[in-house]
Structure 1
Amino acid sequence: MTASCASPSSSRSSSAEARGRLWIGLISGTSVDGIDAALVRITPTGRLEDTLATRTLPLPGELAEAIHRAGAETPLATLCELDGRLGEAFGSAAARLQEAAGGEPIAAVGCHGQTVWHQGAPLPPLSAQLGDPNRIAAATGLPVVSDFRGRDLAEGGQGAPLAPAFHAACLGQGEASRAVVNLGGIANLTLLSPQGPVTGFDLGPANTLLDGWARRHLGRAYDADGAWAASGRVDHALLERLLAEPYFRAPPPKSTGPERFSLEWLEGQLEAGERPEDVQATLTELTARSVAEGVAAWAGAGTREVLVCGGGVHNRHLMARLRARCPGLEVASTQAYGVDPDFVEAIGFAWLAWARLAGVPGNCPAATGARRPAVLGGLYAG
């Protein structure tokens, strides 16, 4: 495949950048722990100039539970209701950030929505997001860019991952090769190298299983600092059974989600008598090992740095295990480059909204498997 990810400067002048405009980015991830919203300033050449405000707005408990239950068997009427309710929730989140703009005009809102189904393989790839952009536009009066995956799917791609183009624009400057790892519900990897195309893929489960297991056995949304996992012992026999899942051995491009890596999938690998804290320790090791092996197998020899973002960056035990499995590599937060690790995805969809209006391709064919670069997203008038 010869198509590569286009850089923003490929379609814009590299002359002195004028003061950037404001953009809002919105996303609710696979962990369904709330709507992440970011208000950012982006220059006309696509450089992230500043992050002015960020918010995480919790979803009502019963709405979050309904999203957790949604999937391929959910009745159409229920999906339509969720689409509208989520659109209103995203609209409220965007309106909160309008206030933070202090009256300065906002160019557009980029909203990824809430993924309720994603199937990278077997072919054809399928992906469904909820969060009616019309309701966001009605709530804010702003143009809204949404449905970012659809055009990549139409070009033969898997519609994911979508972060690599933004990572390249935001974290790929200079001559250094580096890996960017997002520890969200699903762990995904972006590989940035000045010598080759930007690429990346989904590595496997991260918070989707760690949080789900914690909810079941602790009654809490997540295992704070990974303390519960640290109290357990890795069950190496269980770890090997989990790693026998064919997805881990499949070559990229590839993408996945909680449809594959669910608690039901985990339960199918468990044996009687396993302590819940040992399972949590083993799930942590599964994430650390699959990330480390993905970096080792696909990053270039010159890669010396792994930049981590997503909720997992706050899991001290997981980060310690990742560092232990990546000897010789510096494992650090994206904060080291001035990008808030909790809002990288929200900022990324603000950037993808900029790319849509600027006519810049937002996908990286080497990552998604698409035939060619494409401008992503549908535009809804404010």
Structure 2
Amino acid sequence: MRVLGMMSGTSLDGIDVVLADFSRDPDDPGTARAHLLHVGEQPWPAAARDALRAALPPADADAETWSRLHAAVGDAFADAAARVFAEHGSADLVATHGQTVYHDVRDGRVLSTLQIGDPARIARATGVPVLSDLRSADVAAGGQGAPLAPLLDQLLLGADPRERTAVLNIGGISNVSLVGGEAPAGDEAPAGEAVAAEVIAGDLGPGNALLDAAVHAATGDSADHDAIRARTGTVDPEALATLLSDPFYARPLPRSTGREHFDGAYVSRLLGDEIVPAMTLPDLLATLTELTAVTIARAIRELGASRVVGSGGGLRNPLLRARLAAHLDPVPLLDADALGIPADGKEALLIALLGYLGAHGLPGTLTRADGTAHTGASAPVVLGSLTPPHGLRDLPTDPSDALPLRRLELATPQ
């Protein structure tokens, strides 16, 4: 089955796309292979991107704004899909995450989540059925709706009993999946067999969100590219201590967050309207970089990982990467690319995988030992809604496609 996965994160720096052919290993149906036909990024139309940034929290947008943006984001994703299909051939399914505009967390519980991007416009433009709204079913089952990456992380990196791997993604928000390794001694298992450790996952805190917001507010630029400004600044220890006192960091995993919490006014709320203007922009950026590095490293150390495999735009920030590596030492920080996983396309690959699973009625979250999902939902559920409803009725299927997956192997473009 050929699926186009499309993903845009909170940084709004582009629409990531992965076109992948999924098939089952005939000798081991629990293993699927994903032949990556195209991994890339499509640009956001400037007008839609700017309108989204203007409407995101703490802005007070109304229903008219969100309705128009729902259509505009749908058109942007439709254009991105059409360009990929024109260059690389069509697909059986488009799986789209859309654009998160609100993730409502109260006292650690997710009350609602909203991703916009009209799937009907994508289906109309491409002639291909669209699976969208990938988080709502998990939230309806009592889950956090995020992160969804642990499913992919477990299938790719969770089979090694020797490595307890923290799979880290730093986008606007940072998140982690702890996969692989063996459960502590004493857990029940058949004689002579080890018990695989359970997957632990959740959002860790701000990745690029606060950095990007500070730069945009001060200069109009979208980001501090290559940390040019932050590298000339000095960390303010008092400001850092205040930011680290946020109760969010004490909540247990699984947990989730977003721009609703770490919004453009977050730093001023915590530090005060007098302190932030008194700091130079380089000092503020250096402090926020250290905040991201410290919060990620503290969480990963508490999880007991033996290695960290990283992806996402934050790892292209040389100062953030250096500070994170220093705080993690002696635990090594590795690039996903070095392990054959496309770092820049990993989230879009996840969305394509969720499309493949959803099309065959398979859950998009992992089952824990007590029967709950890794997101905290009461049980793993099938994710997504299909547009049009009959879109996949003619899809050729094989009985093996309905079997649970244990492993995913990647074949990259030559």
Q: TM-score, normalised by structure 1?
A: 0.89
Range with greater deviation from structure 2 (201-210 or 167-176): 167-176
Per mean C-alpha deviation after superposition, the further-off stretch among 122-131 and 80-89 is 122-131
Query: Aligned residue for 1:34?
Result: 14
- Quote the Cα distance in structure 1 between the aligned partners of 2:200 and 2:279: 38
CA-CA distance at 1:124 after TM superposition:
4.9
Contact 2:200-2:253 within 8 A present in 1 as well: no
Which amino acid in the other structure matches residue 334 of structure 1? A
1:61 is displaced (CA, Å) by 2.6
Q: Aligned residue pairs: how many? A: 357
Alignment-derived partner of residue 168 in structure 1: 154
Paired position in structure 2 for 1:373? 380
Equivalence for 1:98: 85
1:184 maps to which residue?
171
Q: Which amino acid aligns with 2:111?
A: P
Following superposition, the deviation at residue 167 of structure 1 comes to: 1.4
Matched, 1:294 2:279: no
Which structure 2 residue ranges, 5 or more long, are not aligned? 25-29, 182-195, 367-371, 392-414
**1:298 Cα deviation from its structure 2 partner:** 2.2
- Distance in 2 (CA, whole Å) between partners of 1:100 and 1:337 is 27
Aligned to 1:313: 315
CA drift of 1:344 comes to 1.0
- CA distance in structure 2 between the aligned counterparts of 1:100 and 1:40, rounded to whole angstroms: 14
* Aligned-partner SS, 1:120: strand
Residue 256 of structure 1 aligns to a residue whose secondary structure is coil
Alpha-carbon distance in structure 1 between the residues aligned to 2:360 and 2:15: 26
Secondary structure of 1:342 counterpart: helix
Cα 1:318/1:47, change in 2 over 3 Å:
farther
Question: Residue deviations 1:45-82, cap 9 Å, x none?
Answer: 56353322133222233321221233574221221111
- For residue 286 of structure 2, what is the aligned residue in structure 1? 281
Shift, 1:135, TM fit? 1.0
Of all paired residues, the percent bearing the same amino acid is 38
Q: Does 1:113 align with 2:120?
A: no
CA contact (8 A) 1:125 1:153 kept: yes
Alpha-carbon separation, structure 2, partners of 1:336 and 1:173: 17
Stretch of structure 1 that moved more, 32-41 or 370-379: 32-41
Instruction: Give the match for residue 50 of structure 1.
Output: 35
Aligned with residue 362 of structure 2, among 360, 363, 369 = 360
Which ranges of 4 or more aligned residues in structure 1 deviate by more than 4 Å? none
User: Counterpart in 1 of 2:67?
Assistant: 80
CA distance in 2, matches of 1:367, 1:291: 19
Paired residue secondary structure (1:43): strand
Match of 1:323 in 2: 325
- The aligned counterpart of 2:412 is none
The amino acid that maps onto 2:65 is: T
Change (3 A) 1:124 1:37: closer
Q: Residue 47 of structure 1 contacts residue 169 of structure 1 at CA under 8 Å; is this kept in 2?
A: no
Kept after mapping to 2: 8 A contact 1:87/1:132: yes
* Contact map agreement 1:126 1:158 (CA 8 A) in 2: no
The question of whether the paired residues in 2 share the 8 Å contact of 1:48 and 1:170 is answered with no
Amino acid of the structure 2 residue aligned with 1:232: G
The structure whose Rg is larger is 2
C-alpha distance in 2 between matches for 1:80 and 1:338: 40
In 1, the alpha carbon distance for the partners of 2:280 and 2:106 equals 33
Kindly provide the amino acid, as one letter, of the partner of residue 159 in structure 1.
Answer: G
Determine the structure 1 residue equivalent to 2:184: none
Q: Distance in 1 between the 2:16 and 2:77 partners?
A: 9
Is this contact kept in 2: 1:27–1:346, CA < 8 A? yes
Q: State the distance in 2 between where 1:198 and 1:309 align.
A: 18
CA–CA separation in structure 1 for the residues paired with 2:268 and 2:135: 31
2:92 is paired with a residue whose SS is strand
- Displacement of 1:164 in angstroms is 0.9
Question: Helix, strand or coil: the match of 2:7?
Answer: strand
Instruction: Give the secondary structure class of the aligned counterpart of 2:106.
Output: coil
Q: Aligned partners of 2:157, 2:219: CA distance in 1, in Å?
A: 37
Residues in 1 aligned to 2:382 and 2:110: alpha-carbon distance in whole angstroms: 21
Give the letter aligned to residue 87 of structure 1.
G
Q: Deviations over 1:14-65 (max 9, x none)?
A: xxxxxxx321111111111221111122223563533221332222333212
SS of corresponding position for 2:265: helix
Offset, 1:366: 5.0
Q: CA RMSD in A?
A: 1.8
| Residue 124 to residue 343, structure 1, CA distance change in 2 (3 Å) | closer
What is the rounded CA distance, in whole Å, between the counterparts of 2:200 and 2:356 in structure 1? 21
| One-letter code aligned to 2:125 | A
Q: Secondary structure at the match of 2:374?
A: helix
Q: What is the CA-CA distance between 1:367 and the residue it aligns to? A: 3.5
Unaligned runs of 5+ in 1: 1-20
1:38 partner SS: strand
Structure 1 218/76 Cα, relative in aligned 2: closer, same or farther at 3 Å? closer
How has the CA–CA distance of structure 1 residues 362 and 46 changed in structure 2, closer, same or farther, with 3 Å as cutoff? farther
Q: In the alignment, is the contact (CA less than 8 A) between 1:214 and 1:223 conserved in 2?
A: yes
Query: Does residue 252 of the first structure (1) align with residue 214 of the second (2)?
Result: no
